[in-house]
Amino acid sequence: MSLLSKIRCALTLGQGVLLSPPEPKGNEDPFELFGDWFKQAEKSGIVLPESMTISSVGPDGRPSARVVLLKDFNEQGFVFYTNYGSRKGQELENHPLACLTFHWNILQRQVRIEGRVERVSPKESEEYFHSRGRGSQIGAWASHQSQVIANREVLEQQVAQYKQQFSDKEVPLPEFWGGYRVIPDTIEFWQGKADRLHDRFRYTSDAKGWKIDRLSP
């Protein structure tokens, strides 16, 4: 976060400042438009504009959602990292479809992204893993994410164990940890407007590229 963004964040208690960007016309490339909106969210001073809700479905059809952090995006998709054995990891492995939702409240904007899910390459996971702080690397080994533990002491003992195990070496990438990429077939941009007459633009992909529809609010 830039110094200016930090100042905005402090002055607005993390809620950012209201910007007045040009109204989306619905003829932009969806990845370029997302990139523009994401940059504006970063500059607004919002805390963690990369926060996104990922929704998945369990084997019984029960939906579940949680907030994760976007770590990369381009025309190939939107990437986040997790423990493959976590609830979301298992749900995505068994039913590789997901929905991502960004909500930037002060900008009155939402973006919804729907599509199939795949693991990123081991090389990508390794590069990102080693860009994290050593404490976070140890934490990935110590936490069997979503599994029941008796108390916090169990977690702290596991952290101590892996600190000792890797004390004189680089922390390796766990085989149970890495990235997922959501490859979109639908991206919807929502811009809040007065009197609840919001702008909604839905991009859907087909063999010819992206089709754009304006939706009623």
Is the CB of residue 53 less than 8 Å from the CB of residue 44? no
- Identity of residue 69: L
Phi and psi at 107, nearest 5°, equal: -90, -5
What is residue 142's three-state secondary structure? helix
Count CB atoms within 10 A of the CB of residue 52: 22
Is 132 in the active site? no
Which SS3 state, helix, strand or coil, does residue 134 take?
A: helix
* Residue 189 φ/ψ, nearest 5 degrees: -110, 130
Which two tokens mark 38?
A: 């994401």
Q: Are 40 and 21 in contact (CB under 8 A)?
A: yes
Residue tagged active-site, from 112, 119, 196, 214: 196
Residues 163/168/171/175 CA torsion (nearest 10 deg): -90
Q: Which residues contact 33 (CB under 8 A, 6 or more apart)?
A: 24, 189
Q: Which helix H or strand E contains 31, and what residues bound it?
A: helix 30-43
What's the token pair of residue 189?
A: 């941009």
Residues carrying an active site annotation? 196
